[in-house]
Chains A and B, each alone.
Chain A
Amino acid sequence: MSVGQATTQTPRRYHLLWGQTPQSFRIGLVILLVHLIVAITGPFWAPYGFSQMGAGIPLSGMSWAHPFGIDQLGRDVFSRVVHGSHIVILLSLSGTAIGLLVGAVLGLLSGYLGGWFDNLLQRLLEALISIPFLVLALIAIASAGPELSGNPILVVLVVALVYAPRIARIARAAAMDIATRDYVTVARLRGESAWSVMRRELLPNATGVLLVEFALRAGYAPVLVGSLGFLGFGLRPPTPEWGLMISENRALIIITPITVLGPGLALASLVVGLNLFTEGLARILGRTVRLGTQ
């Protein structure tokens, strides 16, 4: 029999070529790179300091010297946006990342194990989700006590707490679907522990879903951080956090709309960039794009 002949060819090598990546990935990557470069190098080239007053006439509009105008206190909004970049990115991403980690582990285990563990956890998570997220965040901050108020770490943990239950539900749904596949049954028949099944079989196949979820949440996280700041429970002024800036200048939007639009634009482009990038990344990782052969 000639069974062997069929399969003695040298295997094809697979490479990921730039031209074959999804377009969303490329556009997203470019936007994100711009944001990252600004976040890292911004403090060195920003025209003014983030709390430097007297940069121009307060409440003046768009000009070459002050692209985003001057706020009520005479601070250059563009410089503040540049200075705030790393704060926003750091707080949102780390908060979402912790939420993703906790939510994914809980959700995947819950979906795979089922039974009383799943029941108990789901009821608990539903209870958390049923509380509007801002209220939940305020409860968490209030119970943390006044001495932690305004602490960036508390903000990060609050973001994680708000997101983890929502991410866990998505992860659970993904796990329930993947758990019915034969390769998971094979692992079960081998007697693998739930942890090992989750890590080897479920997690790699849920990355697409989880990354998209991460992007959506990370994109909204700056807004959550800003809302907390606005209510006096997040970062404190004069921190140049974008959400905080939007709420500071919001009252004067009729006089100088650019002071609100500027940080808003920065926020929107970060959200769009994150979404495009992670969606494209999910497609590459999910191996749904055709990779080049060489």
Chain B
Amino acid sequence: MTGAAQLLEVQNLSVAYRQGSGWSRAVDDVSFSLRAGEVFGLVGESGCGKSTIALQLLGYRHLSMRVEHGDVLFKGQSLTSMSRGELDTLRGDRIAFVPQNPTTALNPGIRIGRQVAETMLAHGRIQSLESTAAISGILKLVRLPADPVFQRRYPHQLSGGQQQRVCIAMALACDPDLLVLDEPTTGLDVTTQEQIISLLSELRGRIGVAMLYVTHDLALLSQIADRIGVMYAGRMVEIAPTDEIFLRPRHPYTQGLIASIPVIGEPSASRSRPLRGLLRRRELPSGCPFAPRCDHALDRCATERQELQSIDDNRAVACWRWREIAPIAATPNSATMAGAIAHRASVLSVDHVSVVYGPRSRGFRAVSDVSFDIKEGEVFALVGESGSGKSTLARAISGLTAPSTGTVRLRGEELAGAVRDRSDQQRRLIQYIFQNPDASLNPRARIGEAIARPLVHFFKMDGAKARATVVGALDDVRLDGSYQERFPDQLSGGERQRVAIARALAAKPALLLCDEILSALDVSVQANILTLLQQLKSEHAIAMLFISHDLAVVRFLADHVCVLYGGEVMEIGPREQVFAPPFHPYTHSLLHAVPVPLQRPDRPSKASKAAEPKRSGAGCVYAGRCPWQIGSICETERPPWREGRGGLGLRCHLTLEQLNARADWPPPKQEGIAV
């Protein structure tokens, strides 16, 4: 393998962006290489420079950006000194790009067949835009229907997964040598993500294209990459084969990154050393950029620059102490408190709630006939892919969208449908925390004002008293009191989310509605917020409705889990029961879709059929996509509700025994994995 020719070489690359009057370095002296047919993963937190490198592989140039040093060689040719014309013949033909967001990458006004054909036409692969045979060949390659009807569709008529397949098809249209993928699955559901990943690994086997895969998700990378480069603050801190990264991470940052990944196979495992702090570009030392956050840092680290050194044939690490730092070891699980919850009083009960958008008889049923109870101090998780009705349900509980039928009760009192008809007390007891902390804080209000507002509004506090309370509220979320003078744009994403949590806690709520509050954050920040939530749960005994698509996080935090599909409850029960057989077929495919470090999908994806949920008529909403479908009964008859052990309930035509027999999760564990 080492003898193979280098397809791509990045040599001592430094890239800077214009910032005010000066230049700030986003990529600092990075070198790595890629062999033909190899998949190289580039991983790091936001702002580490990984996307900048990806763009350099395409010879991207911009007025506010400059390559200060180094070069990118593709088959020996320098991409940084190539003329625009030469780049144009190379890009799309030999090097192709798959963007993060297919919805904005595809032109909404052009039929997809034509969009794919345009690339081929530009590089002389076909003679006219009408050559449907060539287009259908490429669509088949990415497992899309190849018929002319499909080719005449517009992007908005496709699902997100199909759109990303079209983008991949466009990238593969000219049979390139190198595919650059920038977070290609970040915006997709976990089941769709699994399909895209298995498509990519299949393509790689079939057509032998090399890939540079940029992502923040290390677990995902382990499923596809041969080698992984870990970046921190613009520097490459470690390069190693995938297995080595997970089994024996050498750099303290890699170790922290791996420890921060919630792993679905190990519930409630509080890991040894998740990363602390966060990357502050303004305060980097002259030496190792990771020194301020490193547990192993010595004085020497802050002043002496760490170069990437080869430590054996195919690994390199930028840390002079790598020999002394022991690979991380897992610590025992923390105790769970699930058992005690059953006897507590209910805070919120949702009773046969449906939400229909549009006219009631033929409108869109976003949520249909959902019932559950949330007890005091319980974390209740709602799980499902986008469009499953999770957020709609949270909006119905908060009063932003009135339920069409059914009732919501708070501590036994029935709540009015619309928030303006509820009492101040009821509004105070339910607090909503949003997904995106950038949007949930008023950019023109200081942090102190934002947190003081609920105090003044609900408790009629005066200025001085509110200020004193704000310090306490900030302390609750482990932020310093001095933060109240700042504006939101002076905070990092994780800090902003803490402020949003502090603001919600200031109202002394009985129930927190947490709507995907971790998904906009980096993995190390996620781990810190998760720990914070865990602490709040035990300190304040607040109930939480925790909406997430991340089953690993849910398994870590939740006491009770409810799985939604197409607006209906598929399965509900205590965490231990939901994450153990018998599984509902949908839960089962969700669990299988979660990337687990070093466990590659060895068989075709379970959720291979991407169909829309059936929202009308008889039968099961999951029919048509269900891998365990037993026949026409699924299409025609609504499945019965089955009650299992320990409060588990699920809706399926298969009996619990049959489901039990089909379950094969968790997959057998591999030995020696450090995570």
Please list the residues of chain A having a beta carbon within 8 angstroms of any beta carbon in chain B: 1-12, 14, 20, 181-183, 185-192, 200-201, 204-205, 207, 287, 290, 293
With both beta carbons as reference points, the residue of chain A lying nearest to B484 in the complex is identified as A11
Contact flag A205-B282 (CB < 8 Å), given A1-B531, A11-B486, A192-B457: no
Are B439 and A181 in contact, with the CB atoms below 8 A? Answer: yes
A20 partner residues in chain B, CB cutoff 8 A = 20
Are B445 and A204 in contact, with the CB atoms below 8 A? Answer: yes
Contact flag A287-B478 (CB < 8 Å), given A182-B434, A190-B457, A204-B445: no
CB under 8 Å from chain A, chain B span 424-469: 424, 427, 430-432, 434, 436, 439-445, 453-454, 457-458
Instruction: Let me know if B182 is at the binding interface, CB within 8 A.
Output: no
CB distance from B107 to the nearest CB of A (A): 25
* A9→B292 CA distance, assembly (Å): 12
Query: 3 shortest A-B CB distances, which residue pairs?
Result: A204-B444, A182-B440, A2-B276
Are A10 and B434 in contact, with the CB atoms below 8 A? Answer: no
Q: What are 17 inter-chain pairs, A to B, with CB distance below 8 A?
A: A1-B274, A1-B528, A2-B277, A5-B276, A6-B277, A7-B495, A11-B490, A188-B400, A189-B431, A190-B454, A191-B427, A192-B457, A204-B445, A205-B443, A205-B444, A287-B444, A290-B19
Instruction: Let me know if B479 is at the binding interface, CB within 8 A.
Output: yes
CB distance from A69 to the nearest CB of B (A): 45
Instruction: Let me know if B420 is at the binding interface, CB within 8 A.
Output: yes
Are A191 and B444 in contact, with the CB atoms below 8 A? Answer: no
A201 partner residues in chain B, CB cutoff 8 A = 442
A1 partner residues in chain B, CB cutoff 8 A = 274, 528, 531, 535
* A192→B454 CA distance, assembly (Å): 10
Are A188 and B419 in contact, with the CB atoms below 8 A? Answer: yes
Are A12 and B490 in contact, with the CB atoms below 8 A? Answer: yes
* A4→B436 CA distance, assembly (Å): 22
Are B400 and A185 in contact, with the CB atoms below 8 A? Answer: yes
CB distance from B286 to the nearest CB of A (A): 18
CB distance from B55 to the nearest CB of A (A): 23
Are B432 and A185 in contact, with the CB atoms below 8 A? Answer: yes
Q: Write out, one digit per residue, whether chain B residues 370-413 have a CB within 8 A of any chain A CB (1) or not (0).
A: 00000000000000000000000000001110000000000000
Are B531 and A293 in contact, with the CB atoms below 8 A? Answer: no
CB distance from A6 to the nearest CB of B (A): 4
* A112→B444 CA distance, assembly (Å): 18
A2 partner residues in chain B, CB cutoff 8 A = 276-277
Contact flag A191-B445 (CB < 8 Å), given A2-B276, A11-B482, A185-B432: no
A11 partner residues in chain B, CB cutoff 8 A = 480, 482-483, 485-486, 490
Are B457 and A7 in contact, with the CB atoms below 8 A? Answer: no
Q: A186-B432, A189-B427, A189-B432 are in contact. List 18 more A-B contacts (CB 8 A).
A: A3-B528, A3-B531, A5-B276, A6-B276, A8-B480, A9-B480, A11-B480, A11-B485, A12-B282, A20-B20, A189-B398, A189-B419, A190-B457, A192-B457, A204-B444, A205-B444, A207-B444, A290-B19
Are B479 and A7 in contact, with the CB atoms below 8 A? Answer: yes
CB distance from B507 to the nearest CB of A (A): 8
* A191→B428 CA distance, assembly (Å): 9
CB distance from A293 to the nearest CB of B (A): 7
* A248→B86 CA distance, assembly (Å): 65
CB distance from B456 to the nearest CB of A (A): 10
Please list the residues of chain B having a beta carbon within 8 angstroms of any beta carbon in chain A: 19-20, 274, 276-278, 282, 398-400, 419-420, 422, 424, 427, 430-432, 434, 436, 439-445, 453-454, 457-458, 478-480, 482-483, 485-487, 489-490, 495, 503, 507, 528, 531-532, 535
Contact flag A287-B487 (CB < 8 Å), given A3-B531, A185-B400, A186-B503: yes
Contact flag A182-B453 (CB < 8 Å), given A10-B482, A191-B420: no
With both beta carbons as reference points, the residue of chain B lying nearest to A2 in the complex is identified as B276
Most buried by B among A181, A182, A192, A287: A182
Are A182 and B436 in contact, with the CB atoms below 8 A? Answer: yes
* A9→B440 CA distance, assembly (Å): 24
B495 partner residues in chain A, CB cutoff 8 A = 7
B479 partner residues in chain A, CB cutoff 8 A = 7
Are A6 and B528 in contact, with the CB atoms below 8 A? Answer: yes
B440 partner residues in chain A, CB cutoff 8 A = 181-183, 186
Contact flag A4-B419 (CB < 8 Å), given A200-B442, A204-B442, A205-B443: no
With both beta carbons as reference points, the residue of chain A lying nearest to B504 in the complex is identified as A186
Contact flag A7-B478 (CB < 8 Å), given A204-B442, A205-B443: yes
B454 partner residues in chain A, CB cutoff 8 A = 190
Contact flag A183-B439 (CB < 8 Å), given A6-B278, A189-B398, A200-B445: yes
